Structure 1
Amino acid sequence: MTAEPFRSRTFTPIAPADRPRKTRRGVRVVVTDGTAVLLFADTDPGVPGSRWWVTPGGGMDPGETEIETALRELAEETGFHARAEDLVGPLMRRVAAHGYSDQICEQTETFYLLRVPQFTLDTSGHTAEEQVTLAGHAWIPLASLADVPEPIWPQQLATLASCGNDPERWPGDVGWVEESTVAIGP
C-alpha cells in the first residue's frame, strides 16, 4: 500500500484542542529590489477562502546553518541562487505560532534581507505541500503593502524591506507572535 499523495488529501479542520503541535527553527528571506518585495500567497486548505502573504523561507534541515537554510529555501521556492555574502542580517528574530486547521506550528524564525533586481520565479522546486497551499506570488510595491487586503506576515515587513544595512534600524528580537487561520487557543 502506498501513501496517499499530499495533493489529493481531503482537509478537514481539527478541533483547536486536538490539533497536533510541532516546533521547528526556520529562516525567511525578505527579497526586494528596493521598490517592491517578493511575496507568496499562502492558504490553509482546511479554511476555504483563506489567504495571506509570506516571504520565501522555511524550516531548517538537521545540521544546516541559518544562512544555508536561507540559500536553500530561496533556491527551492524561487529558483534564485544567491550567495551567503548577498544576505544582510539577521534583521529580526521571533517565535511565530501558526495555527492552521490541521496543526499548530511554533517556529523560531530568523529573517534576512536580499536586495536583487526583480526576476522571474522558477517554482518547480516547491514541495508537494507548497504545491497545494501556495496560491501564487507577486512583487508587491513597498508603497502598496498597506493596501493589500489579506494579512501580510510578518507585520514588520515594510520595516524589514527598507532597513538595509543599518543595524540601528533592524527590529532585532520581537518575541512571540501568533499568525493563524484558526486561533491557537481561547
Structure 2
Amino acid sequence: MSGSRLGPEWVPGPDGLLSRHAARVILLDPSGRVLLVRGHDADEPERSWWFTVGGGLEPGESPRAAAVRETAEETGLELRPEQLEGPVLTRSAIFDFFRVTCRQEEQFFLARLAGGTATELSDAGWTAGEREVLDEMRWWDVAELEAELAGGAVVYPSNLPALVRSLLTGWDGSCAHLGEVEE
C-alpha cells in the first residue's frame, strides 16, 4: 500500500500497520485563536473532523523543519524554526483513512503569531491529494471550539481545547504524551 493513495511516506511498521512520523503545529494568532483544518475521508465523505496543521516528515527531515514546511504549504503562513516551542505534545494515533488502518507518530509544536502578523490563509500550497480531502481552514476561539465539540464535531486530538487553554498563558516546558489513541 505504500506509495498508493496514502503516499510514499507510509510504510509497514513492525505490527504490519502502515505508519509514518508527522509534525503538527498548534498555531495561535495574536488573539489566542487556534488554527484548525477540516478534512474528510474521500472514501467516506460523511466523516469529517478538525485537526491541527501538519503532516508527514520527508526523508531526513527533522520534525521541527517539517512543522515549518507543512505550515507554509498548508496555510501560506511562513514560520521560522525558532518560533516553534516544544514539542508540547506527542501522540501515537491509530486511525482509518482511505479504508486502511494507519498509525501516525506525532510531535506537536506551539507557534504564536506576533501582533501585526498577517493571519490571512492560503490553500495555494495544497497538493492534489490534499485538495481531495481538505475542506477549509478556520481560526477558532477556544470557547467556540468547546461549543462545537459539545455539538458533536470531531477534533483531533480530542483534548485540544484544554491543551490550547493551558498554553495561552505560556508553555511550561513539559511535553505531554498521549499513548496509543484510536480515532
TM-score norm. by structure 1 comes to 0.79
**Preserved CA contact (<8 Å) 1:32 1:118:** no
Q: Which residue of 1 aligns with 2:182?
A: 178
Amino acid at match of 2:70: E
- What is the alpha-carbon distance in structure 1 between the residues aligned to residue 175 and residue 44 of structure 2? 32
RCO higher in structure (CA 8 A, sep ≥6): 1
From 21, 25, 42, the counterpart of 1:25 = 21
Distance 1:40 1:131 in 2: 12
**Structure 1 unaligned runs (5+)?**
1-5, 7-19, 180-186
Say if 2:101 is the partner of 1:104: yes
What is the percentage of aligned positions where both structures have the same residue? 36
Unaligned runs of 5+ in 2: 6-15
How many residue pairs match? The answer is 159
Residue pair 2:40, 2:48 contacting (<8 A) in 1 also: yes
Q: Deviations over 1:18-58 (max 9, x none)?
A: xx941010010001125311000110121132210000000
What's the Cα RMSD here? 1.7
- Is the aligned partner of 1:62 residue 2:66? no
Name the amino acid aligned to 1:166: D
Distance 1:157 1:65, change over 3 A: same
Q: Aligned to 2:47, what secondary structure does the other structure show?
A: coil
- SS in structure 2 at match of 1:122: coil
In the alignment, the residues of structure 2 paired with residue 101 and residue 71 of structure 1 have an alpha-carbon distance, to the nearest angstrom, of: 26
TM-score by length of 2: 0.81
Q: Confirm whether residue 160 of structure 1 aligns to residue 163 of structure 2.
A: yes
Rg: which structure is higher? 1
> Tell me, what secondary structure is at the counterpart of 1:48?
strand
Give the Å deviation of 1:100.
Answer: 2.2
Q: Secondary structure at the match of 2:104?
A: strand
Structure having the larger proportion of residues in strand: 2
Q: 1:118 to 1:150 in 2, by over 3 A?
A: farther
Deviation at 1:166, TM superposition (A): 1.3
